[in-house]
Amino acid sequence: MVLIESEKYIPIKEVFRLEEGSKASIRGWVYRYREFGDKAFIIVRDSSGIIQTVVEKKSDIIPELEKIGIEASLTLSGIVREDKRAPGGKEIRVEALKVVGPSHKFPITKDASPEFLLDVRHLWLRSRRMNAILKIRDTVFKAVHEYFRSQGYYEVHCPMFITAAVEGGATLFELDYVGKKRKVYLTQSSQFYLEALIFSLEKVYTIAPSFRAEKSRTRRHLTEFWHAEAEAAWTDMNDIIKVEEGLVTYVVKKALEERLEELEFLKRNIEMLENVKPPFYRISYDEAIEILKRKGVNVKWGEDLGADEERVLTMQFDKPIVLYGFPEEVKAFYHKNDPQRPEVTLAEDVLAPEGYGEIIGGGERISDEQELVNKILRFGLRPEDYEWYLDLRRYGSVPHSGFGLGMDRLVMWIAGLPHIVEAIPFPRTVRRVYP
Ligand code: ATP
Ligand code: MG
């Protein structure tokens, strides 16, 4: 192994700022390799970018070149030259080169199928595509934290082992918990815990995994996804919609500011992202049903809207939609019913445009104990399973609202990806828990 003399090396991106004739030392991995006459052309990548390097096949370098295959790691130094044919217009004429970790027969070739790329995701993460997506994801996570903190929300952390369903039993993962004395599940949402925390901190948020045994295979469901959730005391549905709009707008703005290069590399339609400004369109569930019927979709009032319906609906709009006023039966039991119209709830979803659909689900919660008990019973659930949750309505209850935002879906939409598995480094789906 060579010595790690970090101060000597510069990120590849910075080489492009150096003048012709400067000396540069870089380290990274072989992205492409080809020999031509007495020269070898090595395109090297690091986390910041790629650059072409040219090596004269002189005797002292030949033994090193023999260790090179795609993805071999190396360090090199040389002189920066302008060359129009090189990507980015500059290249390095190599004077010294050392292979650090040889690589032979890297398994990913040009014609790899999407399924194979998932099998070797641990290696595919090195691709320029995944590198761009992961940088966008980093910006999205950072921006969500920044936004909540700028609005006075406290970050909190909730358990992943839980004992009662938040989102209904069908997607619960049951665990073989120590001693098996009672049923334990993986959390589907941190919402109930956030509701408890507002009585201390008033405005709280968390970003954590949620787990759902999703049986339907769609392009937007993972079994383990990253969930940004917020809850605020003294708020109604309209107050919380404003927070959601502010959050989504801020994240998109940050992505455009910090990750334009990556978005362009992914061929994202930038104009559609520039449209994302509040207020978003407000569409009632009733109106949505009418729009869908006019578009020839076979839906009836009272039915839930799935990915297909949302695709048709959101294709009609050039920025996100807030869809509100869902029938009681299509939303979870904790949603407050509209006092003016008890058959619908004060629940709302934010749908991303361009066919992407739901990225946020939120609304006002029931704050009255009896109203909550009645609804739990109406939903065929057992109030005794929700004892501590009912306590929150017994000791100084307040009106409150909150929402959950799927971080992977947000990344998928912002980056313009065709499938959610591309939005997270190691996707978990019903069919995949490897690598
Ligand atoms: P869907 O109808 O698409 O299954 P949902 O109504 O079950 O969504 P919520 O329970 O409201 O979703 O969860 C809040 C947010 O969490 C959703 O708006 C979505 O962005 C995200 N989300 C929910 N389930 C998943 C999943 N399986 N994979 C990725 N993200 C998810
Ligand atoms: Mg769901």
**One domain for residues 82 and 207:** no
Residue 384 structure tokens: 């005794």
Is position 6 within any domain? no
Q: Summarize pLDDT for 396-433 with one digit per residue, the tens.
A: 999 999 999 999 999 999 999 999 999 999 999 999 99
CATH number of the CATH domain containing 334: 3.30.930.10
Averages of pLDDT over runs of 10 residues in the chain (435 residues) are 69 97 98 95 98 92 93 97 94 96 95 96 98 99 99 98 85 89 93 98 98 91 98 98 98 98 98 97 98 96 96 96 98 97 98 97 98 97 95 98 98 98 97 95
Q: What angle do CA 67, 71, 73 make, to 5 degrees?
A: 65
Do 276 and 330 fall within a single domain? yes
| d(CA 406, ligand 1 centre) in Å | 6
The total of structural domains in the chain comes to 2
Of 37, 69, 101, the one marking the end of a domain is: 101
pLDDT at position 170? 87
Name the closest-CA residue to atom 3, ligand 1: 358
Range of the domain at 409: 118-423
The CATH number given to whatever domain includes residue 48 is 2.40.50.140
The pLDDT score that the predictor gives to residue 275 is 97
CA of 276 to the centre of ligand 1 (A): 21
Ligand 1 is surrounded, with C-beta below 6 A, by: 167, 212, 214, 221-222, 225, 227, 358-361, 404-406, 408-409
Ligand with smallest separation from the Cα of 412: 1
Any idea which ligand is nearest the CA of 362?
Answer: 1
* Proximal ligand: closest to the CA of 350: 1
Counting ligands in written order, the one closest to the CA of 404 is 1
Question: pLDDT at position 1, please?
Answer: 46
Ligand 1, atom 16: nearest CA belongs to which residue? Answer: 406
Q: Which residue's C-alpha comes closest to atom 7 of ligand 1?
A: 167
Q: Is 240 found in the same domain as 209?
A: yes
Q: Atom 24 (ligand 1): residue with closest C-alpha? A: 221
Q: What is the pTM of this model?
A: 0.96
Whether residue 166 sits in one domain with residue 195: yes
Report the separation in Å between the CA atom of 221 and the middle of ligand 1, taken as the mean of its atom positions: 7
Q: Each residue of 48-79: pLDDT tens digit?
A: 999 999 999 887 889 999 999 999 999 999 99
pLDDT tens digit string along 277-321? 999 999 999 999 999 999 999 999 999 999 999 999 999 999 999
Q: What is the pLDDT of residue 101?
A: 97
Q: Which of 38, 66, 101 is the last residue of a domain?
A: 101
**Using CA positions, which residue lies closest to atom 5 of ligand 1?**
361
Report d(CA 346, CA 324) in Å as an integer.
7
Q: Are residues 89 and 134 in the same domain?
A: no
Atom of ligand 1 nearest to the CA of 167: 10
